[in-house]
Copies of this chain bind each other. A is one copy, B any other.
Amino acid sequence: MEIDTQLVLSPPNPDVLLDRTVVVIDVLRATSVIIYAMSQGASEVIPLANVEEALQMAKALPQGSVLLGGERGSVKIPGFDLGNSPREYVTGKVRDKKLILTTTNGTKAFGLVSSGKEVLVGSFLNIGAVTQRCLELDRDLLIFPSGDHGGFSLEDTVCGGMLVNLILEKGKKPISLTDASQCAQIVYQRFKNNLLEAFRLSRHGKELIDRGFEEDLAYCAQIDIASLVPVFREGVIRRR
């Protein structure tokens, strides 16, 4: 198995994706929201790149069956039901609902990797389960941090590096790392005893603290509180 990591958001070569497992990561906060919402009973999540699209899709679906969630500039979008804090997505609100989600980075990333053989949703919340699933699938892997406004994201790379590290620890077959995956693993090693330090050093983490979302950082730094590995296929994220 080869593990590559796309350190900076850009469209990967679709041919490369055809045989790969892809893990999309947006720790702060889109993939943490998706995993948490689904662990609380949301039936599926539709990630969309823009607000207008999200509003239109919500209108087209039966009232009461759908929730609109997401952010721009880290804050809730006017007219939306929920923002982008995982702790908003509790059972009482999300059970059996379709969630339409649009965020600055994470929801765009899914569009770029839709030709992946299997596209998984990862974060610290389900990192152990993602590791297990990648090993079961036993294909070359592309770790896909969603980045920060198209640039490199420290916190997503730390999470990607933790996935590299866990696969190396638990895998039984030879595994080769690209330079980018080695980088991610090194960055993870630096912060493995204090994930929150990485969040607080990152541009995006600082922005969230400034805008009153510091609690979300601790929330998104929780390891293995969920055991599901959502899958993105034909525009929709489902349990499997």
User: Could you give, for residues 133-152 of chain A, a 1 whenever the CB lies within 8 Å of some chain B CB and a 0 otherwise?
Assistant: 00000000000000010011
- Majority SS at the chain A contact face: helix
A203: nearest chain-B partner, CB-CB: B179
- Inter-chain contacts of A187 with B (CB < 8 A): 183, 186-187
Within 8 A of B (CB), among A140-179: 148, 151-154, 157, 178-179
6 contacts between A and B (CB under 8 A): A7-B8, A151-B180, A152-B180, A157-B183, A179-B203, A179-B204
Taking beta carbons and an 8 Å cutoff, which residues of A are in contact with B?
7-8, 10, 148, 151-154, 157, 178-180, 182-183, 186-187, 189-190, 201-204
- Other than the given A8-B8, A154-B179, A154-B182, 20 more pairs (CB < 8 A) read A7-B7, A7-B152, A8-B10, A10-B10, A148-B179, A151-B178, A151-B180, A152-B179, A152-B180, A152-B183, A153-B179, A157-B183, A179-B202, A179-B203, A182-B202, A183-B187, A186-B186, A186-B187, A186-B190, A190-B190
